[in-house]
Amino acid sequence: MIRQTRAVLLLVTFVPGTAALSAALPNVAVPNAAFLTAVQADALADLAWLEGEWHRQTRNGSAIERWRRTDAGLVGEALVQRGDQSMQTEALLLVAMGGEFFYIAKPRENPYPVAFRLVSREGGAFVFENPEHDFPQRIIYTRTSDTAMTASIEGPGEGGAPQRIDVVFTRR
């Protein structure tokens, strides 16, 4: 499991395409668009709207999510921008693996990425879950229009009470 997690981290952080990843990690099976199951291909096609740059204003500056398509899925990053300075806060990946579809996040403060499995997609909402993770346990991306989306995170908050945080982004 650790070897697979580190391989995903390399894909998110350093290697934009599957050919380069296969060369760098010959013992790791890398998904390719030609080998996606019908369900995986449909999920990837349905998530194509996410590609591009999404912004929201915060009290500390702009929060940005950037997504681009690769042979393996969608690679993204979350950034905070203050004036001319920007800092990556999270590396992101939407990818098909083992017959399923995953959202993989590597926050700057975590040593390893965390995988969330796609459990639902309907009405423009994609729900990814990892009930073993502390917080969040669910990540939800909802397309609300051609130029807006809501990213939500859910899980147990302080004292175990359910907590949900919704963040609205606009396309730039």
CATH, residue 83: 2.40.128
Record the pTM. 0.79
pLDDT for the residue numbered 23? 36
For residue 102, the enclosing domain spans: 2-171
- What angle (nearest 5°) sits at the alpha carbon of residue 94, between those of residues 158 and 9? 80
User: Helices (DSSP H) in the chain: which residue ranges?
Assistant: 2-13, 18-24, 38-46
pLDDT for the residue numbered 71? 77
pLDDT for the residue numbered 86? 94
pLDDT for the residue numbered 136? 97
* Residue numbers of the chain with a pLDDT score lower than 50: 1-31
pLDDT for the residue numbered 34? 52
User: Is the torsion defined by CA of 88, 89, 95, 97 positive or negative?
Assistant: positive
pLDDT for the residue numbered 43? 85
pLDDT for the residue numbered 47? 92
User: pLDDT averaged over the chain?
Assistant: 83
Domains contained in the chain, number: 1
